[in-house]
Amino acid sequence: MGTHETAARPPHPDDRDFPARRAPGCPGLAELDAAVTQCRACPRLVAWREDVAVTKRRAFQDWEYWGRPVPGFGPPDAALVVVGLAPAAHGGNRTGRMFTGDDSGDILVKALHAVGLASQPTSTHRGDGLELRGVRLAAPVHCAPPQNKPTPGERDTCRPWLARELELLSPALRAVVVLGAFGWQAVLPVLSHAGWQLPRPRPVFGHGAQVTLPSAGTGRELHLLGCYHPSRQNTFTGRLTLPMLVDVFQHAADVAGLNP
């Protein structure tokens, strides 16, 4: 096969550059979400998510695990995006929906419901009736990682999916809530690439951090907010409580124009 033919070969899900080659060409969120679920670019994550889906947790032995990359969840005209870390091994990796079926999803959706951004206070499985109002849940890494710790390389490989997701959402996007320092570091270069101006030095993550990013083009400014991740470690120790999470989402809804 010649050089020209090799360059023209369609991206394969096993290719390391599959996200970088496939994501930019997705014309809408439905196509993007479908492409995300096909990705096998990170061998370590593929092996882990598929092994978990076979061995399962005892409490979920009757479940047929999703065992694939988990796409974002929420309407295509969302004004607010909530960026987490990655799907949980027995949460999103089991249910196939972001922040669904684990402790983090329980408290996060309860907080969104308290602010009026979710139709119900629980998120247990796809098809449970949950609808989000003006909010989309996203992640910088779409596969469940061992010990909930993706590597920087895996984060960077997965980045084009989030970049295209935010680009497609940009006409209506007004605010981004980032859950945790890992997500914060992953989101900043994506926002810069999407056309928002980052201050120098770059903003530092912290719970309650707030930065307003002007648009480099003709779009509107973007409100960037930091929040502790609703992980079991943070919520069980009281570092993050439900009222704290509700306060963050209430403010995010205000700046995003989602409150009546």
Q: By the 8 A CB rule, do 24 and 168 touch?
A: no
- What distances in angstroms separate CA 167 from CA 29, 86, 90, 137, 173, one per listed residue? 10, 20, 30, 15, 9
Q: What is the pLDDT of residue 150?
A: 96
Q: What is the pLDDT of residue 1?
A: 42
What is the C-alpha to C-alpha distance for residues 181 and 176, in angstroms, rounded to an integer? Answer: 14
Q: What is the pLDDT of residue 2?
A: 46
Structure tokens at 71: 């796409």
Q: What is the pLDDT of residue 4?
A: 46
Burial letters 59-81, b for 16+ CB under 10 A, else e = eeeeeebbbbbbbbbbeeebbbb
Q: What is the pLDDT of residue 5?
A: 43
Q: What is the pLDDT of residue 6?
A: 46
Q: By the 8 A CB rule, do 190 and 197 touch?
A: no
Which residues are paired to 132 by β-bridges? 118
Q: By the 8 A CB rule, do 229 and 183 touch?
A: yes
Q: What is the pLDDT of residue 95?
A: 98
Please name the residue that has the structure tokens 């882990």.
Answer: 48
> What is the Rg, in whole angstroms, of the alpha carbon atoms belonging to the chain?
18
For residue 237, give the amino acid letter. T
pLDDT under 70: residue ranges of the chain: 1-8, 217-219, 260
Structure tokens at 219: 């779009």
